[in-house]
Amino acid sequence: MRDFILSVGIGVAAAVAWFGIWIFILRACGLVSFTKTAEARVRVRERTLRMGKGRYILAFGVFGWGLPVGFGTEMSRVAEHMDAGWGNAVASIGLFALWGMAGWWYGLRMWNALHRGEVPFPPPWLSQK
């Protein structure tokens, strides 16, 4: 039980460390604003629009969410199974890739949520009689 708690602690510490580093990098680039003022949100939204969808998904989804969660999971697995062999290594790479894809999906969802446009009602294609 102690080994399990230690391995999970190592994984969580690795993920939190990567989150901290990544937030520092994004803040240095001016992309993350923790202030919730309307002006700051508009500035961040305009900046992410200039980034484009692909870069946004890569920066916030893959590197900002998928990589730290995958890295933390893998550090936990490595700490628990130090000498498990090739099978464990292949499973670790597969799990890490799966978390990367989950990060891509998360970034795509966040892009769509951030840049959702207003839908006029009634829709413009219906004739107004």
Domain boundaries, the chain: 2-114
Q: What is the pLDDT of residue 122?
A: 60
* Residue 83: predicted pLDDT: 63
Instruction: Write the pLDDT tens digit of every residue in 24-60.
Output: 888 888 777 666 788 887 887 888 888 888 888 888 8
Q: Is the pLDDT of residue 14 over 80?
A: yes
Residue pair 85/47 in contact (Cβ under 8 Å)? The answer is no
- Whether pLDDT at 121 is above 80: no
Q: How many CB atoms lie within 10 A of CB 47?
A: 14
| Residue (of 30, 96, 34, 93) closest to 62 by Cα position | 96
My answer on whether omega of the bond before 122 falls inside 30° of 0, hence cis, is: yes
Angular region, 85: left φ>0, alpha ψ -120 to 50, beta rest: left
H runs (alpha helix) in 52-85: 53-56, 67-80
| Mean pLDDT computed over every residue of the chain | 79
> Which token pair is 129?
């009689």
At 90, which amino acid appears? V
- 118 has pLDDT over 70: no
pTM confidence score = 0.69
The residue with greater pLDDT, 12 or 126, is 12
| 110 vs 93 pLDDT, higher one | 110
Confidence of residue 64 (pLDDT cuts 50, 70, 90): confident
